[in-house]
Amino acid sequence: MIGLPAALLLGAVLAPPDTITTVSHGDELGLPRRVSAILTGESLVNDATALTLFGLAAAAAGAGETLFDNAFGLFAYTVASGLAVGAVFAVIALWLRPRLHNPVLETSLALLLPFTAFLTAEQIHASGIIAVVTAAVAFSLNISLDPQHQYPGAYRTRLQEDAVWPVLDFLLETFVFAYIGLQLRFVIADLGHAAARPGLATTLVSAAVLLVTVILFRLGAVWAYFAWWGWSARAFERRLADDPRFRARVERHRAARDQRRRRRLRQASGEWRGPLGPPTGRESLIVGWTGMRGILTLAAAAAVPHTLRNGEEFPGRDAIQAIALFVTLGTLLIQGTTIPMLVRRLHIDVGGERQQASDLLARGRAIAAMAVAHDGPRTTADFDAQRHAVASAVMTGELDDNTARVLVHEVDLEQAARNPAKSMKCPKNPATEWLDFSGLYLAPA
């Protein structure tokens, strides 16, 4: 047996599902909008929570120093400090980015931001992953949609980052899978020794049991939570219809909230664009089946400490790594290969959602076009006005974030096409001119 602290660490390793991979192929699979929204939010919350619990479990097992003996105090500190560190680094990056005046340096800043936030948070025993999520979300939203953080030449950097991040993401994921795969034979060899605990046979049986457990538990938990969600929504609507005083109080709250946010929650068609309702039974089945383990589980398994604070070997480290790999491969083979077939068999009609998204995109393009008041060639000010109009439409509720990002990307592409010379050249920045020897800069336009 590996003991309770190591078992809790194994639970944290196996906890985070790799839902974002499914979302990235949502249009190909025919996923409903509600399912994609749930899985996207889950990928942020679950990853940060699982890795924070991983750090707590490692500390409880006796690996690493902690600031608090109380687990609840340690959890509160790591979460709050991680949020603060991420917010500070996002503010610094947003201030520094328009002052670099070079797409290469600006892209480098975006690449270094998560690593810097993570390492800084870990130095003060905070949650590095929460710092990364906070910094990345705040930085991404502001550079894409906030007019206050737009500056001349920002479109070139955004286009460059759109090409860089997928490549980097692919290389990092490939490296982690390859690293764990190369380590597998050594882990299995160590477990095969007669004196090894818990042993190869016990580890394989445990991996099979845990594989079935993580699949069935997710299905049951998703069904239970979504059933409660649906019951709560129906109870709220019944009370809203039957209780005039409650209805008046809710309407006052909504009016105050809308006024604070300066949002108009109506589309051009006049229908409400409020929060998405509870998922249907078919959608619940898709979300429950989308529980493959992936890159985060393998990376967490590789990060299990070798030794405890007292110098002893970490109990069951080889077993944890082997179980993590077997469970990951099992979920990918069982769930990952059957999701397309499951979606097809459920026959979920997403034609209405896609038509709605198409109409919303067309409306967004009309909003961007109306921001230009002349018929002549478009200038830099015209493109800036289009992006500002799109961002304002998000603030007023006429467009959603996803549609706005598509529109901003289209405007960036059009501006780059109309300014090919500027798009291919990087203006010199006097503050960083000493970098000329590296070949980062081309001749100024």
> Which one-letter DSSP state was computed for residue 444?
P
**What pLDDT was estimated at residue 344?**
87
Length of the chain: 445
Question: Do residues 139 and 110 make contact, with C-beta atoms less than 8 angstroms apart?
Answer: yes
Q: What pLDDT is recorded for position 310?
A: 73
CA atoms of 28 and 19, how far apart (whole Å):
15
- According to the model, what pLDDT value does residue 270 have? 38
User: How would you class 41 by CB atoms within 10 Å of its CB: exposed for 0-12, middle for 13-18, buried for 19 or more?
Assistant: exposed
Q: What is the 3-state secondary structure (H, E, C) of 313-373?
A: ECCCHHHHHHHHHHHHHHHHHHHHCCHHHHHHHHCCCCHHHHHHHHHHHHHHHHHHHHCCC
Give the tens place of pLDDT for each residue, 15-61. Answer: 888 877 777 777 778 888 888 888 887 877 777 778 777 877 777 77
Per-domain boundaries in the chain: 4-224+278-346, 356-432
Low-confidence ranges of the chain (pLDDT < 70): 1-2, 62-71, 180, 193-198, 257-276, 420-445
- pLDDT confidence of residue 143: 80
Residue 266: phi and psi, rounded to 5, are -120, 140
Give me the pLDDT at residue 275, please. 57
